[in-house]
Amino acid sequence: MQYIRDLKKYHWPKGPQDAVRLMMQEPCAEIIAGGTELLVSGLKGKEVNNLIDITKAGLSYIKKERKSIKIGATTTISELQHAPLLKDYAGGILSEAARKFVSVQIRNVATIGGNIGAAMPSSDLAPVLMALDAKICVLGKENKEFAINGFYISKRKTAMAPYEIITEIELPLGAEDGKTGYAFKKIGRTEMDIALVNGASAITINDSDEVVTARLSLGSVAPNTIRCLEIENNLLGKKLTKESIAAACDNIAKSIDPKTDVRASAKYRGTIAKVIAARLIEEAYIKAGGKI
């Protein structure tokens, strides 16, 4: 099978600037990294005869700096899963989400930048990056930085402009005072399948076990991954109990917009989202040292 019938030329830019220049030169060009999304379903309705492969553009790395961990866009999901730096960061939820990402064969090839850029609502990395308050660094005519909350506009749509590529994902280090706990959850039909509902949480508490900051994100229950700001606000300043968590999640229907597809009905997704949200909050709170 020929993966793109009209493909004429395959480019290997040496750096991200080179990639952006090629995109501007070639009218029907698409960026490829691992290609596991692009070649399977990412090209529908697009006329593409040039591919620009950025896997040799120097964007594969995971490094710790003073205020953040920086992950190059073409770092593979397997590299995320096995990086000691990420196992020790934020309770290891990014490694855990990487472990739940389809199969070994796909994880060895698919990249973090590709997954974020594909902007599918079922991404297992997106909820985690939202809970971690990650930044997405983009290069086009100039360098830009987006907070991940707000980066997704809808299914397959991000805030990026044409001729821009994701270069780096930045995770903040030790920004919050107090003790923080994290959690990640995914409900899927099988080990390989994409999420029916997934989500992640980060909760910081003070010495009196009161919630100081809370971030809760859910995937597959809206056109793209969302932060549940209303639920987060309901938790602030409180010592949590099973009852208060359930109460905070009670109006979850207002935050989400689930759809019916072959995998699950909207009703099922809505019901599960409420359960997952409550469990994510509880787990992160307990991991932060809170007692329920």
Partner 1 sequence: MKLNLKVNSENKVFDIDVRDTLLDVLRANGYKSVKHGCETGECGACTVIINGNAVNSCIYPAIKCEDAEIITCEGLETDGKLSILQNKFVEMGAIQCGYCTPGMLLSAHALLMKNPNPKLEDVKEALSGNFCRCTGYKKPVDAVMAAAEQMKEAK
CA-to-CA distance for 96 and 87, rounded, in angstroms?
8
Whose Cβ is closer to partner 1: residue 10's or residue 61's? 10
Minimum distance of partner 1 from residue 110's CB (angstroms): 9
Rounded to 10°, the helix 242-249/266-287 angle is 140
Whose Cβ is closer to partner 1: residue 96's or residue 282's? 96
Q: Which residue do the tokens 């003073």 mark?
A: 66
Q: For binding to partner 1 (CB under 8 A), which residues are involved? A: 1-5, 7-10, 32, 35-36, 39-40, 51, 53, 55, 78, 99, 102-106, 108-109, 191-192
Please give the torsion angle defined by the CA atoms of residues 199, 285, 83 and 132, in that order, rounded to the nearest 10 degrees: 60
CA-to-CA distance for 275 and 125, rounded, in angstroms?
20
Whose Cβ is closer to partner 1: residue 108's or residue 271's? 108
HSE toward the beta carbon, residue 174, CA cutoff 13 A: 5
Whose Cβ is closer to partner 1: residue 33's or residue 125's? 33
Minimum distance of partner 1 from residue 108's CB (angstroms): 4
Task: Name residue 194's amino acid.
Answer: I
Minimum distance of partner 1 from residue 232's CB (angstroms): 33
Whose Cβ is closer to partner 1: residue 49's or residue 213's? 49
Minimum distance of partner 1 from residue 79's CB (angstroms): 10
Whose Cβ is closer to partner 1: residue 60's or residue 217's? 60
Minimum distance of partner 1 from residue 291's CB (angstroms): 31
Minimum distance of partner 1 from residue 130's CB (angstroms): 26
CA-to-CA distance for 132 and 126, rounded, in angstroms?
10
By DSSP bridging, strand 29-32 and strand 50-53 are parallel
Neighbours of 204 (CB within 10 A): 20
Q: Which residues pair with 53 in a beta bridge?
A: 32
